[in-house]
């Protein structure tokens, strides 16, 4: 008789017990009870020191360039010397990074955080006005930026009293701009300046994504960022334990690799990619920007083992691989996040890729990208779930009066734990709205079933209220995606005089396929209640536009439709 597979709860209890590698202990952080890994590196500086055991292995790849872990350490240390000796950067000072996914993004981040500075991750796709806003909000006086960002900031440099260390900026000339590589060549000391850093000191500010309005800068500590990557590592250990498998020693038995197609200025790039790699000695292959055909080539040429991105990107990869007959056999995992995938895409990942298992998770900038996770058979059985709660978090679903709802019922998702951000920088109004007795209001409408699996129904602000009925856009999108001729879809609300709002959708058919309103409505009759079926259906032959994170620009599309219908304003 075969031995029963231990439950996830049993595995967590066993592996996190006293004296174990992943021992969890109770600690009060910012007045809240938290669970911390006793063996975790204390700070990001400690994490970088930990990674030096992988010195001879390649850490960063970009086009034809390669940096080993040792090279990375030395370059980051020289940048740290430039910051402290040439610019007087001290513990707690904010230093901004504004560039595409270059290796210097990584070494700059490691330099800033290793001297106790606070790394401000600017959105590289922001306009000049938005960049200036981010720098002003955070009180940043020094920015490390590439040519495109410097050109956008040129008029701001003098008025904001900004200094710039330029990256790959060619012959750009300004009295306030110094080439980073030129500055570090003047430094012979390849050790970091001494500094005392506490695990709960501020380490980074990453802006919440959004397509309109001013974004908020979420401030996180060293401990919060490190416990995010420790949590993912612990989840991997739990999976190996439940499967009765021995975990390979990375990178000495095998070096795993990740294609970083999402921007490093988002937590999926910085945490899932850059920081998690440091813990286990993995290789990161950086992409300047998303290009699905280039991604196919890189994965095959470099034998990439892991790919993680928002559903639009993983969907691109699935479609392109199928259309061009590429099995991408080196891939063992295709992860996701940022938004729920359609159930069809989950099945397609399992079908199209020869060896890759689908996976996803729920997390936010404010949680340092973690929260819940799911993969493999669990995910195939529950393709609309975001998984089960991380061991360092607690989750609740509450109603409009902040009372807990029973399992399986929808409500507002709130969360607390070790990797929660500390605050929104210089936004006391937003902080007051964000927290309730130490619990962070995520803004997600969700349910947790009897087995503890989280299902995100929608963002609270992404609901169509039709005649008093709340309609989750994600649910409608998933139903439309199940039509075999649909390539991309978004669902949103449009003003309607009698009902308040009506459900609308923009659909991109697959190449060579045609669709009309009648076909969509007929298909949805078997999937949705009558009031959920869109009454306004629009089609586009062009791919849907996206914001910097890779998500569809739903607000932008809705705005264009409002203009078309003469309903804006």
Mean pLDDT, residues 30-40: 95
In a domain? residue 269: no
Most confident of the ranges 385-399, 491-505, 516-530? 385-399
Confidence check: pLDDT of 412 > 70: yes
Q: Which of 420, 440, 458 is the last residue of a domain?
A: 458
> Of 462 and 109, which is predicted with more confidence?
109
Judge residue 234's burial from the number of C-beta atoms within 10 Å of its C-beta, 0-12 exposed, 13-18 middle, 19 or more buried.
Answer: buried
* Residue 274, CA distances (Å) to 61, 107, 234 in order: 12, 10, 17
Q: Same domain for 72 and 185?
A: yes
- pLDDT at residue 213, rounded to an integer: 46
Per-residue pLDDT at 519:
95
CA-based angle 15:18:23, to the nearest 5?
Answer: 55
End-to-end, the C-alpha distance of the chain in Å comes to 68
| Element holding 160 (H helix, E strand) | none
Task: Mark whether 495 and 524 lie in a shared domain.
Answer: yes
Domain's final residue, options 424, 458, 492: 458
Domain with residue 519: its CATH number is: 3.30.300.30
Coil, strand or helix at 92: coil
CA distances from 341 to 77, 386, 488 (A): 40, 9, 12
Q: Compute, in degrees rounded to 10, the torsion defined by CA atoms 508, 514, 516, 518.
A: -120
Domain of residue 530: give its range: 462-564
Q: Is residue 281 part of a domain?
A: no
- 9 φ/ψ sector (left φ>0, alpha ψ -120 to 50, else beta): alpha
For residues 318-337, b (16+ Cβ closer than 10 Å) or e, as one string? bbbbeeeebebebbebbbbb
**Residue 33 placed within a domain:** no
Residue 237 lies in a domain: no
Are 412 and 374 in a shared domain? yes
Between 292 and 125, whose confidence is greater?
A: 292
| More confident call, 48 vs 170 | 48
Instruction: Determine what percent of the chain is predicted with pLDDT higher than 70.
Output: 97
Shared-domain flag, residues 454 and 469: no
Whether the Cβ atoms of residue 118 and residue 124 lie closer than 8 Å to each other: no
Half-sphere exposure of 125 (CA within 13 A, CB side): 16
Let me know if residue 155 belongs to a domain.
yes
458, 476, 492 — which closes off a domain? Answer: 458
Question: Is 195 exposed, middle or buried (CB count within 10 Å of its CB: 0-12, 13-18, 19+)?
Answer: middle
Q: Which of 33-37, 268-272, 383-387, 492-496 is the least confident region? A: 492-496
In this structure, the answer to whether residues 434 and 510 fall within a common structural domain is no
Give the pairing of strands 163-167 and 118-121: unpaired
Give the residue-averaged pLDDT of 286-291: 94
pLDDT at 212 over 50: no
The pLDDT score that the predictor gives to residue 158 is 80
Phi, psi of 399 (to 5 degrees): -90, -170
Of 412, 418, 459, 456, residue with least CA distance to 438? 418
Q: 3-class DSSP state for residue 416?
A: strand
173 compared with 109, residue with greater pLDDT: 109
Q: Which residues partner with 257 through β-bridges? A: 283
pLDDT at position 210 over 50: no
Contact 459, 475 (CB under 8 A): no
Residues 341 and 432 in one domain: yes
In a domain, 510, yes or no: yes
Q: What is the secondary structure of 353-399 as a DSSP string?
A: SSSPEEEEEEE-GGGTT-EEEEEHHHHHHSTT--EEE-TTEEEEEE-
- CA angle 314/106/37 to nearest 5° reads 80
The verdict on residue 416 lying in a domain is yes
Query: Nearest CA to 165 among 153, 148, 181?
Result: 181
251 cis-preceded (ω within 30 degrees of 0): yes
Q: For 275-296, what is the mean pLDDT?
A: 97
Both 382 and 316 in one domain: the answer is yes
Q: What is the mean pLDDT of residues 116-129?
A: 91
165 plus 186 within the same structural domain: yes
For 467, other C-beta atoms within 10 Å of its C-beta total 12
Structural domains in the chain (count): 3
Q: Say how far apart CA 110 and CA 120 lie, in whole Å.
A: 12
Residues 466, 454, single domain; the answer is: no
CATH of the domain at 345: 3.40.50.12780
Report the run of H or E that residue 264 belongs to, with start and end.
none
Neighbouring C-beta atoms of residue 565, cutoff 10 Å: 12
- The least confident of 34-43, 51-60, 339-348, 500-509 is 339-348
The separation between CA 376 and the C-alpha centre of its own chain, rounded to angstroms, equals: 20
Sequence-distant (6+) residues with CB within 8 A of 267 are 206, 228, 363, 364, 365, 368, 369
Instruction: State whether 60 and 208 are in the same domain.
Output: yes
Cβ pair 221, 563 in contact under 8 A: no
pLDDT above 50: residue 211: no
Residues 453 and 490 in one domain: no
The verdict on residue 487 lying in a domain is yes
Lowest-pLDDT range, 1-5, 36-40, 70-74, 377-381?
A: 1-5
Own/partner long-range contacts of 372-379 (Cβ < 8 Å, ≥24 apart): 372/454, 373/232, 373/235, 374/453, 375/239, 375/333, 375/335, 376/239, 378/453, 379/346
Residues 526 and 392 in one domain: no
Q: What is the rounded CA–CA span in Å between residue 391 and residue 383?
A: 22
Question: In which band, very low, low, confident or very high, does the pLDDT at 460 lie, cut at 50, 70 and 90?
Answer: low
Pairing of strands 387-389, 453-459: antiparallel
């Amino acid at each position: 008789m075969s031995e029963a597979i231990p439950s996830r709860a049993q595995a967590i209890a066993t592996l996190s017990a006293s004296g174990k590698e992943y021992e969890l202990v109770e600690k009060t952080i910012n007045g809240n009870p938290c669970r911390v890994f006793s063996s975790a590196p204390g700070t990001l500086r400690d994490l970088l020191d930990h990674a030096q055991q992988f010195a001879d292995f390649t850490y960063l790849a970009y086009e034809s360039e390669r940096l080993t872990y040792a090279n990375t350490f030395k370059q980051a240390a020289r940048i740290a010397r430039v910051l402290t000796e040439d610019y007087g950067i001290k513990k707690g000072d904010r230093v901004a990074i504004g560039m595409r996914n270059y290796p210097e993004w990584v070494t700059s981040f490691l330099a800033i955080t290793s001297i106790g500075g606070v790394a401000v991750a600017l959105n590289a796709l922001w306009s000049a006005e938005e960049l200036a806003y981010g720098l002003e909000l955070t009180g940043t006086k020094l920015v490390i930026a590439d040519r495109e960002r410097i050109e956008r900031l040129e008029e701001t440099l003098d008025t904001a009293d900004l200094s710039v260390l330029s990256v790959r900026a060619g012959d750009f000339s300004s009295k306030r701009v110094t080439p980073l590589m030129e500055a570090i060549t003047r430094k012979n000391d390849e050790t970091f300046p001494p500094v005392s850093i506490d695990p709960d000191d501020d380490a980074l500010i990453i802006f919440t994504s959004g397509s309109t309005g001013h974004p908020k800068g979420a401030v996180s500590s060293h401990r919060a960022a490190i416990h995010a990557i420790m949590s993912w590592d612990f989840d991997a250990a739990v999976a190996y334990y439940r499967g009765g498998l021995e975990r390979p020693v990375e990178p000495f038995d095998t070096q795993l690799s990740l294609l970083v197609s999402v921007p490093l200025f988002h937590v999926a790039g910085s945490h899932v990619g850059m920081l998690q790699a440091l813990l286990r000695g993995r290789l990161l292959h950086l992409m300047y920007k998303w290009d699905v055909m280039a991604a196919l080539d890189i994965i095959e040429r470099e034998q990439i083992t892991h790919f993680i991105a928002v559903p639009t990107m993983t969907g691109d990869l699935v479609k392109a691989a199928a259309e061009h007959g590429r099995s991408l056999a080196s891939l063992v995992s295709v992860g996701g996040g940022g938004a729920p995938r359609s159930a069809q895409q989950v099945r397609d990942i399992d079908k199209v890729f020869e060896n890759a298992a689908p996976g996803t998770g729920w997390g936010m900038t404010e949680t340092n990208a973690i929260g819940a996770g799911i993969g493999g058979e669990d995910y195939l059985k529950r393709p609309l779930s975001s998984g089960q709660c991380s061991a360092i978090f607690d989750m609740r679903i509450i109603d409009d009066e902040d009372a807990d709802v029973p399992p399986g019922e929808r409500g507002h998702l709130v969360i607390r734990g070790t990797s929660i951000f500390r605050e929104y920088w210089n936004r006391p109004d937003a902080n007051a709205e964000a927290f309730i007795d130490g619990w962070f209001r995520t803004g997600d409408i969700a349910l947790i079933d009897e087995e503890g699996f989280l299902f995100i129904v929608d963002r609270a602000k992404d609901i169509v209220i039709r005649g008093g009925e709340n309609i989750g856009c994600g649910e409608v999108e998933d139903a439309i995606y199940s039509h075999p001729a649909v390539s991309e879809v978004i669902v949103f609300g449009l003003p309607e005089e009698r009902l308040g709002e009506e459900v609308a959708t923009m659909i991109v058919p697959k190449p060579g396929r045609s669709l009309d309103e009648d076909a969509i409505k007929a298909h949805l009759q078997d999937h949705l209640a009558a009031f959920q079926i869109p009454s306004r259906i629009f089609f586009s032959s062009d791919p849907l536009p996206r914001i910097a994170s890779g998500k569809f620009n739903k607000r932008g599309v809705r705005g264009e439709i409002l203009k078309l219908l003469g309903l804006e304003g």
